Structure 1
Amino acid sequence: MTTNDDVRPGRRIAVGVGEGAAAAVVALVVAAVGLFAFSVVQWPAFNSSNVTRALTTVGQVVAVALLVVAVLLIRLGKWPLVAKLASWIGISSFVTVTLGMPLAATKLYLFGVSVDQEFRTEYLTRLTDSPALRDMTYVDLPPFYPAGWFWIGGRVGDLLGMAGWEVFKPYAIAMLAIAAAIALVLWTQLVRADLAVGAAAAVTAMTVAYASPEAYGAVLVVFIPPVLILAWGALHRTSGGWGAVLGTGLFLGVAACFYTLYLAIAAFTVVLMAVVAAGVAVARRRAERKPRVGRPRGDEVSAAPWRAAIAPLVKLAVIGAIAGVLALVVWAPYLLEMLAGAKLPSGNAFHYLPESGAELAFPMLEFSLRGALCLLGVLWLVVRAGSSRRAQALGIGVVAVYLWTLLSMAVTAIGTTLLSFRLEPVLLALLAAAGVFGFVEGAGMVYRVLNESAPVRTASTVLAVLGAVAYAQHIPTVLTHEIDTAYTDTVPTTEPDADGTYGERADKRKPSAVAYYHPVDEAILAETGRPRDETVVLTADTSFLSFYPYFGFQALTSHYANPLADFKGRADTIAAWSEAESSGALLDAMAESPWRAPDAFLFRRDADTYTLRLAEDVYPNDPNVRRYTVAFPRSLFTDPAFTTTDIGPFTLVTVRR
């Protein structure tokens, strides 16, 4: 027989999933319409005009107004469908306008194709070219970096007929808008609807400001606060809560497919929650076993106290199993390669320790709007730690971030880190959510103390709205460097400009050497006769691989290289090739390489040599990368097997086999 208690959770989950799907569709439409509208106008560059900044502020005000309308309708209990639509449109339009309008005059996303964004663009280009799970750089290797976000983006680019680098911006913005809307729906399943809108908006604003450059991680950050509340609700309950267990496992599985570090901190926090829940359950069971005055003899709980820990630990195991199965979607090829006897990994992904990773972050002590909201959050977490499960969940999340940071600092003693500096957006998201709850409860206390509900409510609402708008319009300032880079980086074109080069910068200034990438691409195709995805290119100008899906012989740095690729071994091999005694000796050495040798070399010219500017890991130094030059004498390429072509500042050498 089915009871109401059995039906209600299932129905609630079904309603939540349905609303999440609807919110995703609404957000997709909002993002698509907004980005298309931004693209049809010839805007001035953001770094040379305040026009797009002004229009960004206008759009943000409209988005905040929609969210305020949604909250007012919810509080009044009127037009619930309109309130939901207003909240979904408001939060997705906030993301779209805050990122899309400042980038409206460029085809590139935040950070352009520079630094870390170079290898991310390369990955998206690879998976746009083919849905096969392949390493971003190296041929015949499974991917090490989680492919989830990039694989979906690749399918979007393929569907729209866009190159990977070109679809990056609209896809990143739309994906974050969709994630923010779905996260809002999740919040409504966990807290009062008006609080849900406020918490989701605050978390989204922090995410856009501090996590959006890592677009594939930002879509997880907006979910971490509500998911931790969901997880704590499951683990802290003595029975039931299996829907929350399923939801937590699904999130961790998706995180494993998207971003390993955020999976690690989320999983670490959930494990910490399970340990705390088990400890609390055991302590409660022990208390129940003690005789008390007024309790009839024999009324005490007879089960051993340790048995109370079984329920949360079983739920933790189920969460882990669900996450593990999902993780295999992208991790299976890499794990199978390892099991097949691949050479031990040689990656240096954790070898980075900037100053921000060597100290604890205390945003709540800053004199700023961000600091004020975080301080409110900390005060609320402390005051409500004993009575609110929301505060307990978010508080454990904050403690987990600080513990991870301390652990990251500690392991520097053994020559590595845990990249804790990248957890600042997670900390800010948790404190922002807590800050909203603290503000609402604090305002409620003032209402009761002053006994003037209406004026105080109005004043607190006005204060909240003013703070939201002030913070929102500051976000482009926070992202100034990232936006500027999107305008100063060069993208290749298929048609020459007035100077005969094939490249352009969004700020209309002289393009970089990227302007010669298109002729280089055409020359490689013509001279090798192979498709791009069957050609290996050795070059130090690795952004070439971000625009065209060739495989590389060597990655940008060891930190982004597949651990199975043997970055150092390849670097030593390149150096040995440069010291070959003749063309024939070079060809023989290439033939004996343990890896597939290059089909083409893309060099820079320098006097009588062709040069590659490569990188090596010098951790624990900061910067952690040292650049060095490998020079190949031109005489090494006189054999008829080599074809040499000068293109702008480059020399292309193709190999006939």
Structure 2
Amino acid sequence: MTLLAPRPRTRPRLTRPGRPHPALGLLLALAATVLVQLAAAHFPFAEPTRTDAVAATTTTAATLTALAWLTLRDRAPLAAYPLLAALPTFLLALPLHGTPLYLGGLASDNQFRVQYVTRYAAEAALSDVNYADLPPLYPPAWFWLAGRAASHVGIEGWAAYKPAAITSIALTTALAHALWSRLTGHRLAVALAVATLLAAFHAPAFAALEPYAWLVAAVMPPLAVLAHRALTAPRTPYRTLVLCGLYLGLATLTYTLLAAFWAFALVVMALTLIPGNPRRTRTLLTRLALVAATATPLALITWGPYLAAALPAGMPRNNALRFIPVQQTSFPLPMTELTLTGLLCLAGTLWLLTHARRTSTPGAPTARALLTLAAACYLWSLLSQLAVVLGPSSLLSFRVHPVLFATLFCAGVLAVAELTARMHTKGYVRPVAATVTATVCALALVQQAPRDLRQEFDAAYGPRPPRALIDTIAELTGGARPQDLTVLTDQHRLLSAAPYRGYLTAEPVYSHPLADFAGRTEEVRSWAQPASPAAFEARLAHGPYDPPQVFVLRRAPGAYALTLGRDNFPHQPNRVGLPVRLPAALFDAGRFAREDVGPYTVLVHRPVPPSRTQGSDPSVGER
């Protein structure tokens, strides 16, 4: 297939002659998604209604039709960018028009994600999402950008998560188109970008639920093709290798696990190339070293401070890897499903297997690159399963499933494109018929996405941030800045809505290794033991951790209650609740200001420490 043949130039250029610069296309994509989100925010019908679903179906159908027409008329190079960005925006922004929250609302993992954006909306300095005076371990790049954007625009961090998420998915689709355009004709690149978008809504991974991870995963297939060409080129393509290294470094700042997988995939790719030419081992090592050298300075932005703090402490265990969701209990085999996407993945699998071994077929290098990436996904899954059985953790293989789906979806498009080209040559298929069929199939899959994500859409209309609790804390603390207060509570939506520091995180898997989650949990449980308010005060003052200044607890007869968490890996559920009751008599009225808010009581320790202004954003306290 000539569209997939590598170009005979030794130094790849960013664009082809007559093709618009990707930066201009991405700028248009950004403008398109912002305009569509603004229009969706003014949707005239309030919930509950089905008019938003009708509008989403109509607009996505119109967008796909426009893409098909422009592609068929060979007028898509620049216009494709805003249309590709508008497609996921219509799909998400219209059903979410009546809520400021994104898919999943403020439940489960979203509490942590929104909390991270809220943290960086309040202060620009890199910091752990929850604990004070600890460097970040969870990659901060996406959350930092979203938070700082919220700060400059003047909206609260939690409210910025939805537009940041939708914008990321829209720009990822356009970025996938830009990368595939560098490798294929622009007509095929449009189809590959649409296939990449469809993979974001494929069950059970639903990569759209984690937009910052999808930003890394979606572009991995075209980058794998570029990497394969760079490793097999007779002369060292420095620009392409630096691009792969920059991607690795940025992935480390955005999603460490996928960065590790990308490095793993590159090593696997290099190992597959050695048997055919053992003399190139040194060349391959040199090129991989260039990729690593490019990535290292970026990786050290977050890993440097963390390692400097963790190494003297003996590298405490990271609970983030101690998790086994149901998706991780089996190997993903989408090509065996009797669905439209299953047939697409089956076609892609067959195309990869048949073309990867050929040497004369123009598409063989692309097939070998994508097959290696898919094989790396399955190998990573196998290693993760072994880690669960043999070790105390896993490799969270379900997080690389979106990479596998994107790879197989794109391979399926390449298979269909080649088959269509052959049938057209023989006069069996006309381009118009093929384009119409592809558009109808894409529309069928796009329409299925909201139904598959119905639960997540409903959750977005669930509980909002507890504004009454935030206002009460501000009143009782005399207006102290939230980022200067440490709060103990099991109402974790509170920490998502305002940049308080938490004494504990909602889940052990999201707790910083240096924070000693288990030790803090036992410390809170020990507070139920003191026989007097004075003993409780002494325990707070002389405990092993800085005590909370604010307690937000549920009222119970003669006590205040909260539920703590304990790591239960590898058993199910992964986290078990530990009910704790603190006798109400311990909170002496002379030492604690108290006010009831619904089923909760806010208790503020007196005196509230003064705000620290050095090194923080002075504008945050005014909002």
TM-score, normalization: structure 1? 0.87
The answer to whether the Cα contact below 8 Å between 1:235 and 1:312 also exists between their aligned partners in 2 is yes
Aligned counterparts, 1:195-274, within 5 A: 195-209=188-202, 210-274=206-270
2:402 to 425, 430, 439: 425
Counterpart residue type for residue 302 of structure 2: V
Question: SS at 2:276's partner residue?
Answer: helix
The alpha-carbon deviation at position 639 of structure 1 amounts to: 5.6
Q: Corresponding residue for 1:368? A: 339
1:438 to 415, 433, 439: 415
Listed one character per residue, the Cα deviations across residues 453-497 of structure 1 (whole Å, up to 9, x for unaligned) are 5x443332222111011111111112111111001x2224xxxxx
Question: SS at 2:480's partner residue?
Answer: coil
Aligned counterparts, 1:21-32, within 5 A: 21-32=23-34
The alpha-carbon deviation at position 116 of structure 1 amounts to: 0.4
Q: Corresponding residue for 1:39? A: 41
Aligned counterparts, 1:125-136, within 5 A: 125-136=118-129
Q: Corresponding residue for 1:412? A: 388
Q: Corresponding residue for 2:4? A: none
The answer to whether the Cα contact below 8 Å between 2:472 and 2:595 also exists between their aligned partners in 1 is no
* Unpaired segments ≥5 residues, structure 1: 75-81, 283-304, 493-513
Q: Corresponding residue for 1:310? A: 282
The alpha-carbon deviation at position 18 of structure 1 amounts to: 7.6
Question: SS at 2:321's partner residue?
Answer: coil
The alpha-carbon deviation at position 256 of structure 1 amounts to: 0.5
The answer to whether the Cα contact below 8 Å between 1:363 and 1:374 also exists between their aligned partners in 2 is yes
Question: SS at 2:78's partner residue?
Answer: helix
Please give the alpha-carbon distance, in whole angstroms, between the structure 2 residues aligned to 1:412 and 1:629.
29
Q: Corresponding residue for 1:517? A: 469
Listed one character per residue, the Cα deviations across residues 263-318 of structure 1 (whole Å, up to 9, x for unaligned) are 12211111111122233221xxxxxxxxxxxxxxxxxxxxxx4xx21111111111
The answer to whether the Cα contact below 8 Å between 1:69 and 1:86 also exists between their aligned partners in 2 is no
Q: Corresponding residue for 1:501? A: none
Question: SS at 1:391's partner residue?
Answer: helix
Please give the alpha-carbon distance, in whole angstroms, between the structure 1 residues aligned to 2:110 and 2:65.
33
Task: Give the greater-gyration-radius structure (CA).
Answer: 1
The alpha-carbon deviation at position 73 of structure 1 amounts to: 3.0
Q: Structure 1 residues 598, 14: closer, same or farther in 2, change over 3 A?
A: farther
The answer to whether the Cα contact below 8 Å between 1:38 and 1:101 also exists between their aligned partners in 2 is yes
Listed one character per residue, the Cα deviations across residues 391-443 of structure 1 (whole Å, up to 9, x for unaligned) are 11110011011111111111112221111122221111000010000001112
Q: Corresponding residue for 1:464? A: 438
Q: Corresponding residue for 1:650? A: 600
Counterpart residue type for residue 344 of structure 2: L
Counterpart residue type for residue 520 of structure 1: T
Counterpart residue type for residue 582 of structure 2: F
Question: SS at 1:280's partner residue?
Answer: coil
Counterpart residue type for residue 462 of structure 1: V
Please give the alpha-carbon distance, in whole angstroms, between the structure 2 residues aligned to 1:6 and 1:51.
52
Question: SS at 1:616's partner residue?
Answer: strand
Counterpart residue type for residue 356 of structure 1: Q
The answer to whether the Cα contact below 8 Å between 2:15 and 2:21 also exists between their aligned partners in 1 is no
Question: SS at 1:401's partner residue?
Answer: helix
Please give the alpha-carbon distance, in whole angstroms, between the structure 1 residues aligned to 2:397 and 2:120.
29
Please give the alpha-carbon distance, in whole angstroms, between the structure 2 residues aligned to 1:447 and 1:185.
27
Aligned counterparts, 1:177-192, within 5 A: 177-192=170-185
The answer to whether the Cα contact below 8 Å between 2:349 and 2:408 also exists between their aligned partners in 1 is yes
1:603 to 532, 549, 553: 553
- 2:377 aligned with 1:401, yes or no? yes
2:136 to 114, 130, 143: 143
The alpha-carbon deviation at position 6 of structure 1 amounts to: 12
The alpha-carbon deviation at position 564 of structure 1 amounts to: 1.0
Q: Structure 1 residues 618, 12: closer, same or farther in 2, change over 3 A?
A: closer
- Of 107-116 and 317-326, deviating more is 317-326
The answer to whether the Cα contact below 8 Å between 2:476 and 2:593 also exists between their aligned partners in 1 is no
Counterpart residue type for residue 44 of structure 1: A
The answer to whether the Cα contact below 8 Å between 2:77 and 2:186 also exists between their aligned partners in 1 is no
The alpha-carbon deviation at position 8 of structure 1 amounts to: 7.4
The alpha-carbon deviation at position 520 of structure 1 amounts to: 3.0
The answer to whether the Cα contact below 8 Å between 1:278 and 1:309 also exists between their aligned partners in 2 is yes
TM-score, normalization: structure 2? 0.91
- Of 205-214 and 265-274, deviating more is 205-214
Listed one character per residue, the Cα deviations across residues 175-207 of structure 1 (whole Å, up to 9, x for unaligned) are 221222122111111122211111111012212
Listed one character per residue, the Cα deviations across residues 595-648 of structure 1 (whole Å, up to 9, x for unaligned) are 211111110001111011111111112221111211000111126222222221
Please give the alpha-carbon distance, in whole angstroms, between the structure 1 residues aligned to 2:17 and 2:163.
29
Q: Corresponding residue for 1:278? A: 274
2:368 to 358, 380, 392: 392
The alpha-carbon deviation at position 15 of structure 1 amounts to: 8.6
Please give the alpha-carbon distance, in whole angstroms, between the structure 2 residues aligned to 1:571 and 1:122.
20
- 2:500 aligned with 1:550, yes or no? yes
Q: Which protein has the bigger helix share?
A: 1
- Identical pairs, percent: 33
Please give the alpha-carbon distance, in whole angstroms, between the structure 2 residues aligned to 1:8 and 1:17.
19
Please give the alpha-carbon distance, in whole angstroms, between the structure 2 residues aligned to 1:524 and 1:135.
26
Q: Structure 1 residues 419, 634: closer, same or farther in 2, change over 3 A?
A: same
The alpha-carbon deviation at position 7 of structure 1 amounts to: 9.5
Q: Structure 1 residues 480, 105: closer, same or farther in 2, change over 3 A?
A: same
The answer to whether the Cα contact below 8 Å between 1:175 and 1:219 also exists between their aligned partners in 2 is yes
Q: Structure 1 residues 314, 469: closer, same or farther in 2, change over 3 A?
A: same
The alpha-carbon deviation at position 587 of structure 1 amounts to: 1.3
The answer to whether the Cα contact below 8 Å between 2:231 and 2:270 also exists between their aligned partners in 1 is yes
Please give the alpha-carbon distance, in whole angstroms, between the structure 2 residues aligned to 1:518 and 1:138.
19
- 2:484 aligned with 1:491, yes or no? no
Please give the alpha-carbon distance, in whole angstroms, between the structure 2 residues aligned to 1:632 and 1:198.
60
Q: Corresponding residue for 2:351? A: 380
Please give the alpha-carbon distance, in whole angstroms, between the structure 1 residues aligned to 2:476 and 2:330.
48
Q: Corresponding residue for 1:581? A: 531
Please give the alpha-carbon distance, in whole angstroms, between the structure 2 residues aligned to 1:8 and 1:16.
20
Question: SS at 2:216's partner residue?
Answer: helix
Please give the alpha-carbon distance, in whole angstroms, between the structure 1 residues aligned to 2:146 and 2:303.
18
Please give the alpha-carbon distance, in whole angstroms, between the structure 1 residues aligned to 2:19 and 2:124.
27
Please give the alpha-carbon distance, in whole angstroms, between the structure 2 residues aligned to 1:268 and 1:491.
41
Please give the alpha-carbon distance, in whole angstroms, between the structure 2 residues aligned to 1:135 and 1:43.
40
Listed one character per residue, the Cα deviations across residues 355-397 of structure 1 (whole Å, up to 9, x for unaligned) are 3211111111111111111111101101111231111111001
The answer to whether the Cα contact below 8 Å between 2:72 and 2:435 also exists between their aligned partners in 1 is no
- Of 577-586 and 402-411, deviating more is 577-586
Please give the alpha-carbon distance, in whole angstroms, between the structure 1 residues aligned to 2:69 and 2:433.
16
Q: Corresponding residue for 2:620? A: none
Counterpart residue type for residue 271 of structure 1: V
Please give the alpha-carbon distance, in whole angstroms, between the structure 1 residues aligned to 2:446 and 2:407.
18
Please give the alpha-carbon distance, in whole angstroms, between the structure 1 residues aligned to 2:315 and 2:260.
22
Q: Corresponding residue for 2:295? A: 323
The answer to whether the Cα contact below 8 Å between 2:76 and 2:187 also exists between their aligned partners in 1 is no
2:591 to 629, 641, 653: 641
2:483 to 533, 549, 569: 533
Q: Structure 1 residues 639, 458: closer, same or farther in 2, change over 3 A?
A: closer
Please give the alpha-carbon distance, in whole angstroms, between the structure 1 residues aligned to 2:572 and 2:302.
32
Question: Please, what is the CA RMSD of the aligned residues?
Answer: 2.0
The answer to whether the Cα contact below 8 Å between 1:278 and 1:310 also exists between their aligned partners in 2 is no
The answer to whether the Cα contact below 8 Å between 1:613 and 1:628 also exists between their aligned partners in 2 is yes
Please give the alpha-carbon distance, in whole angstroms, between the structure 2 residues aligned to 1:564 and 1:627.
22
Question: SS at 2:543's partner residue?
Answer: coil
Please give the alpha-carbon distance, in whole angstroms, between the structure 1 residues aligned to 2:20 and 2:474.
48
The answer to whether the Cα contact below 8 Å between 1:23 and 1:178 also exists between their aligned partners in 2 is no
Please give the alpha-carbon distance, in whole angstroms, between the structure 2 residues aligned to 1:225 and 1:44.
40
* Unpaired segments ≥5 residues, structure 2: 1-6, 359-363, 608-623
The answer to whether the Cα contact below 8 Å between 1:644 and 1:653 also exists between their aligned partners in 2 is yes
